[in-house]
Structure 1
Amino acid sequence: MLAMAMATLFVLVAILGPAILPFDPLASNPQAALQPPSADHWFGTDNLGRDVFSRVLAATRLDLGIAFGAVALSFVFGSLIGALSGYFGGWVDAVFGRLIDVIMAFPLFVLAMGIVAAAGNTVENIVYATAIINLPFYARIVRSEIAIRREAGFVQAARLSGNGDLRIIAVHLFPNVLPPLMVQLSLNLGWAMLNAAGLSFIGLGVRPPTPEWGIMVAEGSNFIISGEWWLALFPGATLMLAVFTFNLLGDGLRDLVDPRQRT
């Protein structure tokens, strides 16, 4: 319940972001540069006088949008690949299995770096790169679950009733795979946000001056040694809290769908 409440808060901030911002996140004010947290600027101001609190709130929509978009793509295509591999087996399983092995052979963040560097550091390419590196998780879960159940009694009954292969996969098999997929989905949301922030931190993600947590941490790290700690602390803490929220939500969902927790 705590994780669900925190996740709902992040989603509401992402949806209502422009309406609740106290300042324009892109408006600079050199006279107010590098001010510490105060009643006027809760998270202080950066080196251009921009309100850090407003930029952190504005970045919530972008970071959650990247995470949700990437996880949705990897969920759809990974589930499709896993379902076809697990149900048909044979050469279909071999082809898709080698594709997944190729993706998993690379360190996932390094693979995302290579994709974004080759395709260009736009938001769309960050979403695609994050989706590609998360795709094997869904493909492997769906493949293993469907491979176990494809000869089960209810599948044989559906086949004898005249259902085609695709209908059996979509209507009879895939609903049985959804519980573990929901757990993986919530965990991947946190990983996707970390991946997007990591790409932005090393300069391969969202481009400044767009407010994004990874960019803000990277820019703020240059000022920590001179005492302006708030520039990196608040966006970094927000990112940590968001990842913690979705990981905690994944743990809660795992407990709910695990039969061993009910006995």
Structure 2
Amino acid sequence: MSRWGIVILSIYLIAAIGTPIMSHLGLLPDPNYGLANPIYSPPSLNHWCGTDRLGRDVCVRTLAGSGVALQVVFFAVILAVLFGVPLGMLSGYLGGAADRVLVLIMDTLYAVPVLLLSVVMAFLLGRGIPNAAAALCVVYVPQYFRVVRNQTVQVKSELFVEAARAIGANPLWILRKYLLRNVIASVPVLLTLNAADAVLVLGGLGFLGLGLPESVPEWGGDLNLALSALPTGIWWTALYPGIAMFVLVLGLSFLGDGLESWISDTSKKAQ
């Protein structure tokens, strides 16, 4: 499974890096500018996936959407890790009133459906790649917080942690030396699964018109524009962005399953 995930993700990375370079060199059409004619052209040798309502090449725009999706999802998930993991460790280790307040806040955010919370954050922050990444970041911070905090609470009761606290070791040193490496194992799996989910959430925001500007090649926004053309038999403007989104989610899910199996096998061998 993980091999398929790596292969799929590699293909998307190549598309994300290569498409803007080839467009800049004139080897591919610009994904943001259409042709005067033909508009809504079906797939052909000149335009493998057809053209949209502005005459833009659907194939090139779908390939360029890989870079936008990976960029937003990468920053969103990494920011969520950078905020959620330290907060979870500190909350679980320190306990007390601060822990109760943080747990209350994170549980409240976690209780809100992912898409609804992302819609609210996108509405508050506005459109654009940084704002979309920030909106998705807020959605996933509670997940890392909950997982890391629960594991920290378990690990801090171990004898080696109690011994370090008894000799007066610095709490930050204990967190870094003993707790971090014990609670971090589950983060890579959660990261890949959240990345897969984030692709769908970003697509949902774009489909609702709350994602990125129309000039940015983004799959959800393109699906939104394609919706009005479907009843007239223009299927290609919706098919290819939908397939691209589905395959990327599938690849990230494969990668997450592979990482989970590898971590589980490594833990069993260590025992």
TM-score range, shorter chain: over 0.9
| Equivalence for 2:136 | 130
Q: Retained in 2: the 8 A contact 1:104–1:136?
A: yes
1:257 aligned residue (263, 266, 271): 263
Gaps of 5+ in 2: none
- In the aligned structure 2, how far is the partner of 1:171 from the partner of 1:10? 37
- In the aligned structure 2, how far is the partner of 1:58 from the partner of 1:149? 44
| Equivalence for 1:207 | 213
| Equivalence for 1:61 | 67
2:116 aligned residue (106, 110, 117): 110
TM-score (norm 1): 0.94
Q: Secondary structure at the match of 2:232?
A: coil
- In the aligned structure 2, how far is the partner of 1:195 from the partner of 1:261? 32
Q: Retained in 1: the 8 A contact 2:15–2:66?
A: yes
| Equivalence for 1:17 | 19
Q: Retained in 1: the 8 A contact 2:125–2:135?
A: no
1:95 corresponds to 2:92: no
Cα-to-partner distance string for 1:136-159 (whole Å, 9 max, x where unaligned): 110011011111011212323444
Q: How much identity, in percent, do the aligned residues show?
A: 34
Q: Retained in 1: the 8 A contact 2:155–2:182?
A: no
- In the aligned structure 2, how far is the partner of 1:111 from the partner of 1:262? 38
- In the aligned structure 1, how far is the partner of 2:189 from the partner of 2:100? 27
Cα-to-partner distance string for 1:31-65 (whole Å, 9 max, x where unaligned): 12111112221111111111111111111111111
- In the aligned structure 2, how far is the partner of 1:187 from the partner of 1:119? 25
Moved more, 61-70 or 120-129: 120-129
1:46 corresponds to 2:66: no
- In the aligned structure 2, how far is the partner of 1:12 from the partner of 1:203? 28
Aligned amino acid, residue 130 of structure 1? L
Higher RCO, 1 vs 2 (CA within 8 Å, ≥6 residues apart): 2
- In the aligned structure 2, how far is the partner of 1:170 from the partner of 1:213? 40
Q: Retained in 1: the 8 A contact 2:110–2:143?
A: no
1:121 to partner: Cα distance: 2.0
Moved more, 150-159 or 191-200: 150-159
How many pairs are equivalent?
263
1:161 to partner: Cα distance: 6.0
Q: Secondary structure at the match of 2:157?
A: coil
1:83 aligned residue (86, 89, 92): 89
- In the aligned structure 2, how far is the partner of 1:260 from the partner of 1:59? 36
Aligned amino acid, residue 110 of structure 2? M
TM-score (norm 2): 0.91
| Equivalence for 1:179 | 185
Q: Secondary structure at the match of 1:31?
A: coil
Gaps of 5+ in 1: none
1:88 to partner: Cα distance: 1.1
Moved more, 251-260 or 95-104: 251-260
| Equivalence for 2:9 | 7
1:127 to partner: Cα distance: 1.1
1:119 to partner: Cα distance: 2.5
- In the aligned structure 1, how far is the partner of 2:175 from the partner of 2:18? 39
Cα-to-partner distance string for 1:212-258 (whole Å, 9 max, x where unaligned): 00011111121111111110000011001111111111111111112
